[in-house]
Structure 1
């Protein structure tokens, strides 16, 4: 061997690349009943705070988030109309209930340091912004969470339809529907213990089997614009973040051509 010395070259272990997020922008649909917690009416502030914490965790990952919240915990237009009240008036009252829920969730998010804007389809400039599509998109691009209130602004349309409509208008990559159960079942599992749970479905499956995931207008809007719907349980802590990471229990509804 010559007198030349040999030097040992060491290399630092490579840091694994962070896997890119599956979705860039999502719409989260929350039922009003999901904010009840253990109450029979109104808002459970602990539940609102937990929901806000889960939205913040997703927002902190760099995912743009918008929400549509129902109003069934305060007022349900359809059931009231069935008891004899004018359906149009009942639906407008239900829309106002969604504004109350939106303001509660906004308050909880901003207490956690998340800038949030509420946009209402019924103008009420003293408490929130009017719905303006371009402004809503700009808010999300600036890192703000946007909550859409008052449904579509029209009676006879549910907040499910409002969620699908806003998801299309915002160019969302997915609709995440938080429900009382951990996916889509052939029947209500709380009433029928033999109900079958589905891991994945097509929009055609949902319509032909009459699975009550969302109303048919919402399903048709999502199908026609190729926006998948992911159904999961609001009552499972951390479920929102897990769904976005493709973990946990959920049912995904996609177009027929997207099914493997």
Structure 2
């Protein structure tokens, strides 16, 4: 999580915490879903011969490790948090219950959702879309290392240009890779907009919260 290819970059996690604190101070309710690819990737393990379901469960546990790291960083900057997971781990977190999650948000706590959906074969993107719909979120912010959706992979094609806004149907027709199809379809069917942005650039989260055109907006 952060600049490191493997493991947790504590400096980057601290930056995330400060960015989240600044936005939370604006009175916004914030719920977070974190992946676990910096520790373990289920799909990669499957390719090396591991059972897919077993590998996915291991990936879910990796998301909990990342969630705990972020929770610690958030609490160190003075925020009240709750970690809710789709797999029961009573000693370290609460089980996911939709009404409880909503109540935590109403009380001003930052809610972190760990362990994906609790089911194998579903990605972190799908977990984020599902939880966002369940808590009636206004928008899904997909933080990546790229500052939006491009006509092509900007890391491979220097002529690629960024979309500031694009519709769900255009993403389909152009074959653009925003998130996995299950998650993307969930957002489209529930009229839930998505903003893809560079989460590693300090201040971007606040700029989005203040209505600035950061990254790419997917809607309609």
* TM range, smaller chain: over 0.9
In structure 2, C-alpha distance between the alignment counterparts of 1:124 and 1:81, rounded to whole Å? 25
| Counterpart residue number, 1:36 | 2
| Counterpart residue number, 1:117 | 82
| Counterpart residue number, 1:74 | 39
* TM-score between both structures, scaled by the size of structure 2: 0.98
Deviations 1:146-191 (A, max 9, x none): 0000000000000000000000000000001111111101222111
| Counterpart residue number, 1:230 | 195
Of the candidates 186, 192, 217, which is equivalent to residue 221 of structure 1?
Answer: 186
Asked if structure 2 preserves the Cα contact closer than 8 Å seen for 1:71 and 1:94, the reply is yes
In structure 1, C-alpha distance between the alignment counterparts of 2:64 and 2:53, rounded to whole Å? 17
The unaligned stretches of length 5 or more in structure 2 are none
Q: Secondary structure at the match of 2:31?
A: strand
- RMSD, aligned α-carbons: 0.9
CA drift at 1:80: 1.1
CA drift at 1:248: 5.0
The unaligned stretches of length 5 or more in structure 1 are 1-34, 256-260
In structure 2, C-alpha distance between the alignment counterparts of 1:95 and 1:129, rounded to whole Å? 15
Of the candidates 143, 151, 157, which is equivalent to residue 108 of structure 2?
Answer: 143
Deviations 1:241-260 (A, max 9, x none): 101212253100001xxxxx
In structure 1, C-alpha distance between the alignment counterparts of 2:97 and 2:77, rounded to whole Å? 26
Of the candidates 212, 217, 220, which is equivalent to residue 177 of structure 2?
Answer: 212
Deviations 1:183-227 (A, max 9, x none): 101222111112221110111111222211111111111111111
Deviations 1:24-68 (A, max 9, x none): xxxxxxxxxxx232x221000000000011111111100000000
Q: Which 4+ runs in 1 deviate beyond 6 A?
A: none
Of the candidates 80, 88, 91, which is equivalent to residue 126 of structure 1?
Answer: 91
* TM-score between both structures, scaled by the size of structure 1: 0.83
Which has the larger Rg? Answer: 1
- How many residues align structurally? 220
Asked if structure 2 preserves the Cα contact closer than 8 Å seen for 1:49 and 1:108, the reply is yes
